[in-house]
Amino acid sequence: MLSANECYNVFEKSIYDYHVNDDVDTPIKIPFARGSFEFLLYLKNWIDTVQWHLEDIIRNPDIDPVEALKIKRRIDKSNQDRTDTVEKMDDFFLDAFHDIPYLPDARMNSETPAWLLDRMSILLLKIFHMKEQTERNDAPPQHLTKCSEKLMILQEQKDDMRRAFDELIEDISNGRRRFKVYRQMKMYNDATLNPMLYKSSANK
């Protein structure tokens, strides 16, 4: 089982690799073996990183409405890809802890390890881009100071989440905490659950 630091390292590599070209259309090249947990970590963060920049682009006040709609559709798909990838990561944890004998007083954790990693992935993106803000040559001193203060808080959060993840894995391994995986039941993407989709289909 990877430690939080090892997971952070994979996320940081993905962020670095993306910013070599800094283009949302850059093809992903995952440097880890397909089927490995690192493969999923890298894929997860790459999805997050591309979506981060799509969210920036769509907020351009001068964006063409047709282009904005295309990006919105792309963000919707990205959100689904993100969820699917997190659930595949949870499958790894379910398999790894399948035979753990939980203690009678084992506490239920509301968040699965994979969804904690989801937050950690996005946190590293916040740190990367906040650090960029502290290095801007075109920003006033007040902006740089404010962003530096925010960066310190994000770094503290990174340390806290590192500890939280490692402690969660340790507790699950020792049977002191347990978790359940509830698959995301998003309704708006399902043609049988979203009224706008199934009513439209019925009228054709």
Torsion over CA of 43, 46, 47 and 51, rounded to 10 degrees?
Answer: 180
In a domain, residue 198? The reply is no
Flag whether 199 is in a domain.
Answer: no
Give CA angle at 196 (190, 197), nearest 5°.
45
In a domain, 120, yes or no: yes
CA distances from 183 to 10, 73, 153, 164, 204 (A): 25, 22, 32, 23, 31
Residue 169 in tokens: 């894995």
Give pLDDT tens digits for 16-37.
999 999 999 999 999 999 999 9
pTM (predicted TM-score): 0.92
Domain residue limits at 126: 4-187
Residue 200 domain flag: no
pLDDT of 114 higher than 90: yes
Assigned domain for 194 exists: no
3 state SS of 27: coil
Average pLDDT over residues 189-204: 73
Split at pLDDT 50, 70, 90, the class of 204 is low
Query: Averaged over 125-129, what is the pLDDT?
Result: 98
pLDDT of residue 81: 96
DSSP label of 177: E
Least confident window among 2-6, 40-44, 94-98, 180-184: 180-184
Domain count, the chain: 1
pLDDT, the chain, mean: 94
Q: Is residue 143 part of a domain?
A: yes
Q: How does residue 1 score in pLDDT terms, banded at 50, 70 and 90?
A: confident
pLDDT-derived band at 190 (thresholds 50, 70, 90) equals: confident
Least trusted range by pLDDT, from 37-51, 66-80, 150-164, 171-185: 171-185
pLDDT range class, residue 203, cuts 50, 70, 90? low
Residue 202 lies in a domain: no
Read off the pLDDT of residues 68-98 as tens digits, 9 standing for 90 and up.
999 999 999 999 999 999 999 999 999 999 9
Backbone angles phi, psi at 177, to 5 degrees: -135, 150
The proportion of the chain whose per-residue pLDDT surpasses 90, expressed as a percent, equals 88
- Whether residue 195 is contained in a domain is answered as no
